[in-house]
Structure 1
């Protein structure tokens, strides 16, 4: 089966557990020979494909389980809870992630003169679809071209472009095009999320942010929650906590200093929020992270 071909190709790259970068900067491969604990992490704009084993992703009240032959498209940056739910030494979980470039997608959609979206199309930040054979074939070719370094730099961009075309025209297309359509609610919310990512340390008045993207406060909150599963303030809090985790892991800061760096006035409130999101106090969680218990998007 073609999905077995993909699993074999991914297994040749990821021979040990963990996330593996590749010679194609946008492509990474993930392997786990054991089930993993649910972990809070951020998913970005990208296409994740499972080739072997199963994985579960929770966004707000939405729980998505996907496995071999299925693809998960994330259209905006999202805080999720994710973990591998089926894996073994004999058949480890194997998946790939291809991050996508918004500008390239916009240009493609413009060149292709895509038809208007149906009015009743509900926004969705994550969509799960069975892999159509042409998209699966393109994914296999992208992974296999890694074994051909002499032609990889020339062929990989062409295959990536093909994948984006197939995403825009396939089952994922309507949700992806909502993000790209200037003036659509999804596009406006994506702008607000980008602004929050740059200013998450600041005290933000959400009514002012709503005005910034030309929405009324009530409409803004409704569309934000519909797309992300979170309120704008909850999203900002998760941005702060994810950055705090990154700082402590990579700069060896203590919890009190980190809390102030990410915009918290109270170190105790920071520790409570951190424990609630990551399942352990800062010091214990960072030790766990350093021991290798991390989660990847693929």
Structure 2
């Protein structure tokens, strides 16, 4: 019953915005809401730390090496900023794909984590930073109350922040706890790799020296490479390349800057190399792609800046 009521709330917001295909950022709830009436092809984007609940339909999301299928009633945690590919696999006009994305406040999670940190299992089996679980009733109920509270101004300002805190707390003690606690534990591999990904994002145009980066976060080169690939699904160099190309795509679609200037801005010294790698990733040259709107409007970016 809770899931159907939550689905109705999300669908009504999408209806009011006139969205049948795509995504919106709902300013009252600070969530991203998605609806698609047809299946889609694989599309590349960047996910920031987030919680995503599939309310209807299904999608695949992950990296080229590892794709997860997520169905209605299941949810995802993404713990690191991550270049991903995704596609809607179940959707129709009668039963469209509908999902909500709740951005994670890492500072809030860090403030709550000490209360549950003693239960952290350092030997958790799967380090991958996209984590799928079935929803639990307590978390779903908190999300429903949050959406209801955000409808009216008084409850939006007085009660919704309390419920948002509850949602974060339930994530830390619920089925997604392991992946979040790995991220928040200051001496874990996940925490150190998060530090490395933040450094790569902050200095995207600079050449990565893997050994130097590993040393700065306190890991050997071999351990760093192994853990980075296990957690992000890709190598440090490929991670940087994917972020560069995705940032370039955003710039191509949002500005009229020259292709050569955009290539240089994201770290390419050769425009020809940039065009080759761009075409290989997106199936179109930068100039061909310039005026094409993104399939899902960067739907799962919770925060454009690394934290």
Task: Using structure 1 for the length normalisation, give the TM-score.
Answer: 0.94
Query: Would the aligned equivalents of 1:50 and 1:68 in 2 still touch at CA under 8 Å?
Result: yes
SS in 2 for 1:55: strand
Distance 2:113 2:276 in 1: 44
Matched, 1:123 2:140: no
Equivalent residue for 2:181, pick from 169, 174, 177 = 177
Paired with 1:256 and 1:122, the residues of 2 have a C-alpha distance of 41
Q: Which moved more, 1:51-60 or 1:107-116?
A: 107-116
- Secondary structure at the aligned position of 1:194 is classed as helix
Mapped pair 1:93 → 2:110: no
Q: Quick check: 1:71 aligned with 2:75?
A: yes
- Equivalent of 2:262, from 250, 258, 273? 258
Q: Contact 2:46/2:81 (CA < 8 Å) preserved in 1?
A: yes
C-alpha distance in structure 2 between counterparts of 1:32 and 1:183, whole Å? 41
Query: Which residue number corresponds to residue 236 of structure 2?
Result: 232
Structure 1 stretch 188-197 or stretch 201-210: which is displaced more? 201-210
Structure 1: how far apart are the matches of 2:288 and 2:90?
26
Q: Which residue of 1 aligns with 2:34?
A: 30
Name 1:139's counterpart in structure 2.
143
Task: Tell me how far 1:219 sits from its aligned partner.
Answer: 0.7
Moved over 6 A (4+): none
Shift of residue 120 of structure 1? 4.7
**SS state of the match for residue 208, structure 1?**
helix
Q: Structure 1 residue 279 and structure 2 residue 279: aligned? A: no
Q: 1-side partners of 2:4 and 2:196: how far apart?
A: 40
Measure how far apart 1:24 and its partner are.
3.7
Tell me how far 1:293 sits from its aligned partner.
5.8
Q: Write the distance in 1 (CA, Å) between the matches of 2:174 and 2:195.
A: 25
Root mean square deviation of aligned Cα: 1.7
Return the offset for 1:156.
1.4
Shift of 1:25: 5.8
- 1:186 equivalent in alignment to 2:159: no
With the length of structure 2 as denominator, give the TM-score of the two structures: 0.91
> Residue in 1 aligned with 2:305?
none
1:285 and 1:293, CA in 2 relative to 1: closer, same or farther beyond 3 A? farther
Q: What is the rounded CA distance, in whole Å, between the counterparts of 1:266 and 1:111 in structure 2?
A: 51
Maintained 8 Å contact 1:60/1:228:
no
Structure-2 residue corresponding to 1:248: 252
CA gap of 1:146–1:21, structure 2 versus 1, over 3 A, is same
Which whole-Å deviations, capped at 9, do the CAs of 1:19-43 have from their partners, x for residues lacking one? Answer: 1122346312111122122110011
CA contact (8 A) 1:84 1:93 kept: yes
Residue of structure 2 in register with 1:81 after alignment: 85
Q: Determine the C-alpha separation between the residues in 2 that align with 1:142 and 1:9.
A: 11
User: What stretches of structure 1 of length at least 5 have no aligned partner?
Assistant: none
1:254-273 deviations in whole A, cap 9, x for unaligned? Answer: 32221111110111111121
Is the 2:117–2:181 contact (alpha carbons within 8 Å) kept by the matching residues of 1?
no
User: Within 2, Cα distance between the matches of 1:35 and 1:120?
Assistant: 34
Q: Provide the C-alpha distance between the structure 1 equivalents of 2:178 and 2:28, rounded to a whole number of angstroms.
A: 27
Count of aligned pairs = 297
Distance in 2 between residues matched to 1:196 and 1:117, nearest whole Å: 28
Residues 246 and 57 from structure 1, CA distance in 2 versus in 1: closer, same or farther, beyond 3 angstroms? Answer: same
Aligned: 1:152 with 2:152: no
